Structure 1
Amino acid sequence: VDIWAIGVITFLLLSGESPFGGCCVGDSNAVVKDNILNARYSFEPEEYWEHVSDDAKAFISMILVLEPGKRPNAHDCQQHTWMHDMNVAGSKALRPNVVDALRSFREFSDLRRLLCEVIGFTLLPEQILDLRKEFEKLDVEGSGEITLKTLKQVLMEQDSGSVRNLTVEEVEDIFNSMRMHKEDTTVHWHHFLAAGLSECPVDERNHRLAFERLDNEKKGYITLNNILELMGPQSLTKSEESLQSLWADSTEIICRTTSKIQYDDFVKIMAMDDDDDIF
């Protein structure tokens, strides 16, 4: 890879001028050659560069170094801050209904979030295609994970169209709601899928598979213990006693019992409107 040429082209694209002269009348070939041989250039005139970030200038300066051995390699260039910022800035806005789904997910109980994740594992590729595209707008490195920094940059980009009067605190709440474990510093794809589940065409097959996974003893119903076993203690944001109280109150309203959820009741829970999230 011709790293030097990348620096020259970047300079030209950002300013409209060659770094070493030659574009203007009066620049002799001898002067241009001397500038090239000595890597002599400047970010002037100011009006050409006032709109260009310091990170972009630093990227050029890192490359246009006289000694080849001191220039970065292609990987170093890709890892530069400016390149990462460009990836984020170039990300398309999340669809407004996806943003709304993420906002609603903040209000879900630990139990319902877990149920959403269980259903997420039952979805077929064609059911998650659209939401996967939305996730890829946030997963700029293609790692299968997203960071709080990237989520903030995409959701709070003023011209992105994603913003629904979101504050920094709201974006942080959205991110935290998608972290399955308290110690996680990133959000994995399956946790994002759980948060955006309302944007996927879930059908009876998905409900049945999810219920059977929870009812691994094939009793015909699920209990709080089934869910707690799947969640693990590190996933809980409330005490087990609080969850037991929530479970009893919710199941009594939905199922007319305080301990068991049968399949039909499970379907009702997953079909509840976001505003009616009593579970």
Structure 2
Amino acid sequence: MEDKRRNGHSPQPNKTKCSNTATATTATTKVKGRPKQSSTIHSVILKEHNLDVYQKYTETEVLGNGSMGHVAKSSGKESSDKSYALKSIILDRVSTSFIDELKNEIHILKAMDHPNIVKLHEVFSHKKQIYMILELCDGGDLYTRLPYTEKDSAYVTGKLLSAIKYMHDHGIVHRDLKFENIMFENKSSTAEIKVIDFGLSKKFATSRLGIMREGVGTLYSMAPQVLQGIYTSQADMWSVGVIAFMLLSSHRPFYNKKRKIMIDRIMRCDYTFKKDYWKPISDDAKDFIDHLLVLDPKVRYVASKAQKHKWLHKQFKMEDRAPTESVTGRVADNLLMYKDNLSLKKLALNVIAHRSSTAEIINLRKAFDQFDSGNDGVISSEEFKVAIQDKCSYSSDEIKELFNSIDINNNGQIMYTEFIAATLEAQGQLDEARIAEAFDRLDTDDTGFISKENIMEFLSDTDATMKDIEHMIQAADTDHCGQVSFDEFLAMFRSDNENKNITPSYLLSSLKASSDFDPLNSPSDGSSDDAHSSDDLVGIDAVIPGGKYDITERKQEEEA
């Protein structure tokens, strides 16, 4: 931490400037630079810099090298105890289409807030290179832990479905789900999975998912309709079926050394459970796969339907994932106290939550899982009410007020980072270094004070108003100088009596892998490469439900 925060070496606030800003802007005027649809607080926490990444981060271990750049384990120069993944891309060495994919990935990751989706923290642009600071996932991909028990397979599948349900609910289709793009966050045997690589993902303007025509993805997990270049979000659900098949059997459902035969099997939906390695697997697991590897996308299970399948109900039980009673009690107590925190402290807690490592929040994440009974990555008001009402004597109206105080984005649901922010102090007093990191993020001009202008800049893509910002600064500015010093900022986290203040209800309105599948050990399913003659093979021009040559489907589209 820099001395200026502790010793007041920063310049004194410009009272005239603050006064002019307030006079020129009415209390309800929204911060300038507003896009048509406002962002969440969590999307604006991510900071984009036009400077050398190595001014802030140090590489500690190179994890992978390539012609276009590299990925390295890194740590912040001011907080070396926390590790990140630093992904570098040399722009001169990549195509325009790859740059578009990179921008697409950054745009999508900014909007994602789910415990099983990799988190992007910062982006740096410097000398024709782009650097992404990502959550470190160094536990290996799904291949590295083969074989899986049926219970472990169900756990991975259940968590994957939660991420996909969240993505689809937010208008995002991944389009390249496969073993390589699902990583374990660390080397622990209890590590969570993280979905990565959103370069090929598609984001729709609304949550209504449309038809896509780009031929993207990886062959072994590719749906028949993708091969024909006309498909929907149901292509992701086909990929879930492939992944579940592989988790349970350590084999691929359609694999063949010859690409033509592999395509034929995909187009025919030709897979089998007759091999010996399927004998110990339950009928429920096979039935689950049968509802995903379905040729007709309209019959294929959607994510919410798959989550309700009896296999997951038996093998992916919520009680098996619960935190200890003591953690549950502390979390509940903290949630009840959270509503009285200052607005600026709530904002800071969300910044800290977003930057927190797995080790720092692992028990809070388990608590979130219990509140999120629908397993879709968000907590609805009804889920919150059911989870909290047996832990307090609050009325329905009081529980609603508590819910709204946590929902700082005012979108009618508690997002993952919002929940973590509201429960962070259940684990005890926050370390000063984590508080200082949040201060630095909010002190956008690096003066050693947080001003109204800083918060205006930070919340420029949200629906925060000048009234919100003035309230936020005034409540924390105990010496009435017009800005918040680090000592005042730290005091919000250290005092039990001076920080009671109801937050305004209007705080807010609101590495792509391009190669085909690399065979596993002993990949063959026993079938011969020559089992089909070329004349018998089904190609990508076959007539399949929901496909390019489905006349009924095309007529319905034209009528619509």
TM-score past 0.5 threshold: yes
- Rg comparison, structure with higher value: 1
1:128, CA displacement in angstroms?
A: 0.6
2: CA distance, partners of 1:176 / 1:151: 11
Unaligned residue ranges in structure 2 (runs of 5+): 1-298, 502-560
The answer to whether residue 369 in structure 2 is matched with residue 136 in structure 1 is yes
Amino acid aligned to 1:188: M
Aligned partner of 1:276 in structure 2 is 498
Structure 1 outlier segments of 4+, above 3 Å = 72-80, 87-94, 231-236
**What secondary structure does 2:482 align onto?**
coil
The answer to whether residue 334 in structure 2 is matched with residue 101 in structure 1 is yes
1:1-279 matches, within 5 Å, as 76=305, 79=308, 95-156=328-389, 162-182=390-410, 184-201=411-428, 202-232=430-460, 234=462, 236=464, 240-241=466-467, 243-244=469-470, 247-248=473-474, 250-251=476-477, 253=478, 256-273=479-496, 275-278=497-500
Unaligned residue ranges in structure 1 (runs of 5+): 1-71, 157-161
Over 3 Å counting, the alpha-carbon distance change for 1:233 and 1:103 in structure 2 is farther
Is contact 1:88–1:150 with CA below 8 Å preserved after alignment? no
**What secondary structure does 2:355 align onto?**
coil
Is contact 1:91–1:138 with CA below 8 Å preserved after alignment? no
2: CA distance, partners of 1:260 / 1:74: 54
Aligned partner of 2:83 in structure 1 is none
Corresponding residue pairs, total: 193
1:272, CA displacement in angstroms?
A: 2.2
1: CA distance, partners of 2:388 / 2:414: 15
Aligned partner of 2:89 in structure 1 is none
Is contact 1:117–1:190 with CA below 8 Å preserved after alignment? yes
Q: Summarize deviations over 1:32-69 as a string: whole Å, max 9, x none.
A: xxxxxxxxxxxxxxxxxxxxxxxxxxxxxxxxxxxxxx
1:175, CA displacement in angstroms?
A: 1.4
Larger strand proportion of the pair: 2
1:169, CA displacement in angstroms?
A: 1.3
Is contact 2:476–2:492 with CA below 8 Å preserved after alignment? no
Over 3 Å counting, the alpha-carbon distance change for 1:233 and 1:106 in structure 2 is farther
1:91, CA displacement in angstroms?
A: 8.8
2: CA distance, partners of 1:216 / 1:190: 21
Amino acid aligned to 2:345: R
**Quick one: higher RCO (CA 8 Å, sep 6+), 1 or 2?**
2
Amino acid aligned to 1:115: A
1: CA distance, partners of 2:375 / 2:468: 38
2: CA distance, partners of 1:109 / 1:235: 19
1:241, CA displacement in angstroms?
A: 3.5
Is 218-227 or 186-195 further displaced after alignment? 218-227
Amino acid aligned to 1:247: I
1:232, CA displacement in angstroms?
A: 4.7
Is contact 1:180–1:191 with CA below 8 Å preserved after alignment? yes
Q: Summarize deviations over 1:150-179 as a string: whole Å, max 9, x none.
A: 1112222xxxxx422122112211211121
1:79, CA displacement in angstroms?
A: 3.8
**What secondary structure does 1:146 align onto?**
strand
Identity percentage over the alignment? Answer: 21
Larger helix proportion of the pair: 1
**What secondary structure does 1:277 align onto?**
coil
Is contact 1:111–1:227 with CA below 8 Å preserved after alignment? no
Aligned partner of 2:79 in structure 1 is none
Over 3 Å counting, the alpha-carbon distance change for 1:189 and 1:267 in structure 2 is same
Q: Summarize deviations over 1:219-276 as a string: whole Å, max 9, x none.
A: 122112322432358554xx6336525633541x2xx242222223221222221x42
The root-mean-square deviation of aligned C-alpha atoms, in Å, is 3.4
Is contact 2:352–2:435 with CA below 8 Å preserved after alignment? yes
Over 3 Å counting, the alpha-carbon distance change for 1:164 and 1:115 in structure 2 is same
What is the TM-score when the length of structure 1 is the normalising length? 0.58
Amino acid aligned to 1:194: A
Over 3 Å counting, the alpha-carbon distance change for 1:73 and 1:240 in structure 2 is closer
Aligned partner of 2:94 in structure 1 is none
Is contact 2:450–2:483 with CA below 8 Å preserved after alignment? yes
2: CA distance, partners of 1:136 / 1:242: 31
Amino acid aligned to 1:226: N
